Amino acid sequence: MLRLPRFALRQPTTLAEALALLAEAGPQARVLAGGTDLLPNMKHELFTPGVLVSLAGVTELRGVTVTEDGGLSLGAMTPLSELSQHPEVLARAPALAQAAGLVAGPQLRERGTLGGNVLLDTRCQYYNQTHFWRQALGFCLKKDGALCHVVEGGQRCVAAASADTQPALMSLGATVTLVGPGGARSLPVEGLLSTDGAKPHKIAPGEVLTRVHVPPTPTGHRGAYGKLRERGAIDFPLLGVAVRLDLDGAGLVAHGDVVVTALAARPKRVTGAGELLRGRALEGSGFAAGSAFATAVARVAELAARQCKALANVPGDHAWRSEMVPVMVRRTLLAAAEGRGPVHPG
Amino acid sequence: MSLGRFCATIRGVLLHVNGDDHEVSAPDHWTLLEVLRYRLGLTGSKQGCDKGDCGACTVLLDGRPVISCLVLALEAVGHQVTTIEGLLPAHLAQGGSGADPLQVAFDRCGALQCGFCQSGMILSARALLKRNARPSETEVREALAGNLCRCTGYTQIVQAVALAVAEATGGALPPRAWEQPPEGA
């Protein structure tokens, strides 16, 4: 039995009220969204806030709207289940809908929110454990200790970004709106995430992530998300791959992007992938081995394998996870090209 | 304001569970599952992993399946909570006789061994059948993907849902693996 540590719950109904409660409670407060990540972490005593400010009653933070420019404005408190089935999200940002639909299991997607997933704590097999377990090992860099058990002698926490929506949002060039006591600011998703696993988000105390904005995608936009995990549901990703292919009127790739997650604290964009994919023809040439597109995909997969090395930070054999990087990149690129997805073995 | 971890704030919580209003006192940090089990005595919802991995504590919140060990009791205020104990009375109230058809189907198919996962399984299946009266086997498996069973291997569970669907819609029941004639017969 895992009990929650004691705290006082605040249930504001407006954003202004939530911000005031957060400011009043100061550093002992945390924001509660769906609770599917925060509450288990609190049960493991990874966080022991004195005050939780629940955003469940703040209705202005819910819902999906299409903006005037054809982009998407996604409320941070929109449940992942709603996001994964929303026709506008499926049409305009398929990789995001697929990623949201593969988070955890059905019940957790009912409660889990987009904002909560974007601000998901990084995960590590030496961190996501009970206090008793962590104490027996002398704690770790990320919480209460000075040792890293993943990288011997490591001075920087390498806990893994495990949110499925992060790489999808990065491939879509999405930005987030943070509202705090000093007003609102907007920054790209990759700007929100840091490379330090111990402090993975650059969100200031007292700030609330209110909306995620996805810029308009062109008519020829295709996207897919690939998730590697041991079971068909519930598990966090052992690898996550988000892919974007924007086709021009002639069926040539105008813009391509590949982002891989569950490696270290921040999802990794495969550098050079866009250049390899640009100008390749999808229509007509087919996806048969030897076609120009298939060759480009194979080279992107090689590039990803060189750039992405898995660490022993999340469960599963990290050598196998490294081997699976090119496999997942190739499968997800082909799925996106064919307008399929998600790629989800098992 | 809060006195932190050392002194719990206890308040009256008005919960709407299985069609009845219950006023209970509980501290802010109690989960919906803890209130259901330890205040209301509704022990049909099981406490398994207590961290969202197993689905044994699944209940319906406004008809949608949620993990009650990760929902604070105070956050369920103003919503309709349905536990396994509420299915039979709800079925009777709708003019049915006896237990919910899903409960009957689980019984007939032997879709349990130890029974620990069963209430969560049935509630996940109930939520599925509410929004989709004729789910495919894949849809059934996807809807039950958040509920772990360590005994049955899931075969009879999926068949129980198929039986309930067949009886509700008048459709044909897919043959069970052991009922199919051996190859070449």
- Whether A230 has its CB under 8 Å from any CB of chain B: the answer is no
What's the rounded Cα separation, in Å, for the pair A98 and A113? 15
Residue A154 domain-assigned? no
| Residue B2 near residue B29 (C-beta atoms within 8 A) | no
Residue A89: what residue type? V
Residues of chain A with Cβ-Cβ distance to B147 below 8 Å are 105
What number of C-beta contacts closer than 8 Å exist between A and B?
107
Residue A167 domain-assigned? yes
Residue that terminates a domain, selected from A214, A243, A276: A214
Confidence of residue B2 (pLDDT cuts 50, 70, 90): very low
Nearest to B58 among A11, A43, A107 (CB): A107
B5/A50 touch (CB, cutoff 8 Å), yes or no: yes
Q: Cα distance from B161 to chain A (closest Cα, Å)?
A: 17
E strands, chain B, are 10-17, 20-27, 58-61, 64-67, 80-82
CATH number, residue A42: 3.30.43.10
Indicate if A242 and A314 belong to the same structural domain. yes
CATH number, residue A94: 3.30.465.10
Per-residue pLDDT tens digits of chain A, which is 346 residues long: 899 999 999 999 999 999 999 999 999 999 999 999 999 999 999 999 999 999 999 999 999 999 999 999 999 999 999 999 999 999 999 999 999 999 999 999 999 999 999 999 999 999 999 999 999 999 999 999 999 999 999 899 999 999 999 999 999 999 999 999 999 999 999 999 999 999 999 999 999 999 999 999 999 999 999 999 999 999 999 999 999 999 999 889 999 999 999 999 999 999 999 999 999 988 655 566 678 899 999 999 999 999 999 999 999 899 999 999 999 999 999 999 999 989 997 6
Confidence of residue B6 (pLDDT cuts 50, 70, 90): low
Helix, strand or coil, per DSSP, at residue A101: helix
Range of A170's domain?
A: 59-120+160-214
B51/A44 touch (CB, cutoff 8 Å), yes or no: yes
Spatial CB neighbours of A169, under 8 Å, sequence gap ≥ 6: A96, A118, A189, A212, A214
Confidence of residue B176 (pLDDT cuts 50, 70, 90): low
Indicate if A65 and A205 belong to the same structural domain. yes
Look at residues A150, A267, A201, A154 and name the one whose alpha carbon lies nearest to residue A38: A201
Q: Cα distance from A56 to chain B (closest Cα, Å)?
A: 8
B72/A9 touch (CB, cutoff 8 Å), yes or no: yes
Chain A residues 68-127 with a CB less than 8 Å from chain B:
104-108, 110-111
Look at residues A192, A327, A322 and name the one whose alpha carbon lies nearest to residue A265: A192
What's the rounded Cα separation, in Å, for the pair B116 and B46? 7
| Residue A121 near residue A83 (C-beta atoms within 8 A) | no
pLDDT in tens, B39-54: 999 999 999 999 999 9
Residue of B136 and B177 predicted with greater confidence: B136
- Whether B72 has its CB under 8 Å from any CB of chain A: the answer is yes
Indicate if A65 and A93 belong to the same structural domain. yes
Indicate if A175 and A66 belong to the same structural domain. yes
- Residues B3-8, mean pLDDT to the nearest whole number: 55
Between the CA atoms of A276, A277, A280 and A284, what dihedral angle is there, to the nearest 10 degrees? 140
Residue A261 domain-assigned? yes
Indicate if A225 and A295 belong to the same structural domain. yes
Q: What is the pLDDT of residue B170?
A: 86
A7/B51 touch (CB, cutoff 8 Å), yes or no: no
Residue A136 domain-assigned? no
Q: Domains (ranges, CATH) in chain B?
A: 10-86 (3.10.20.30), 98-174 (1.10.150.120)
Measured between alpha carbons, how far is residue A89 from residues A62, B8, B41, B117, B177 in Å?
Answer: 14, 42, 42, 34, 40
Distance of CA A4 to the CA centre of its chain: 26
B6/A39 touch (CB, cutoff 8 Å), yes or no: no
Indicate if A68 and A210 belong to the same structural domain. yes
Q: Cα distance from A9 to chain B (closest Cα, Å)?
A: 6
Q: Cα distance from B184 to chain A (closest Cα, Å)?
A: 31
- Whether B62 has its CB under 8 Å from any CB of chain A: the answer is no
Indicate if A207 and A78 belong to the same structural domain. yes
Residues of chain A with Cβ-Cβ distance to B2 below 8 Å are 7-8, 25, 28, 50-51
Residue that terminates a domain, selected from A171, A193, A214: A214
Residue A128 domain-assigned? no
Indicate if A78 and A172 belong to the same structural domain. yes
B66/A111 touch (CB, cutoff 8 Å), yes or no: yes
Q: What DSSP designation does A263 have?
A: S
- Residues B52-70, mean pLDDT to the nearest whole number: 97
pLDDT in tens, B83-142: 999 999 999 999 999 999 999 999 999 999 999 999 999 999 999 999 999 999 999 999
Indicate if A67 and A206 belong to the same structural domain. yes
Chain A residues 136-175 with a CB less than 8 Å from chain B:
none
Which residue in B9, B28, B59 has the most chain A C-beta atoms within 10 A of its own C-beta, making it the best mutation to test that interface?
B28
Helix, strand or coil, per DSSP, at residue B155: helix
What's the rounded Cα separation, in Å, for the pair A79 and A73? 14
Q: What is the pLDDT of residue A283?
A: 63
Domains of chain A: total: 3
Helix, strand or coil, per DSSP, at residue A51: strand
Residues of chain A with Cβ-Cβ distance to B55 below 8 Å are 105, 107
- Whether A2 has its CB under 8 Å from any CB of chain B: the answer is yes
Helix, strand or coil, per DSSP, at residue A315: coil
Indicate if A47 and A69 belong to the same structural domain. no
Which residue in A107, A117, A121, A128 has the most chain B C-beta atoms within 10 A of its own C-beta, making it the best mutation to test that interface?
A107
Indicate if A231 and A260 belong to the same structural domain. yes
Strand pairing report for A253-261 and A29-32: unpaired
Beta bridge partners of A306: none
Confidence of residue B36 (pLDDT cuts 50, 70, 90): very high
Q: What is the pLDDT of residue A337?
A: 93
Residue A183 domain-assigned? yes
B53/A234 touch (CB, cutoff 8 Å), yes or no: yes
Indicate if A41 and A63 belong to the same structural domain. no
Residue A345 domain-assigned? no
Confidence of residue B171 (pLDDT cuts 50, 70, 90): confident
Residue A129 domain-assigned? no
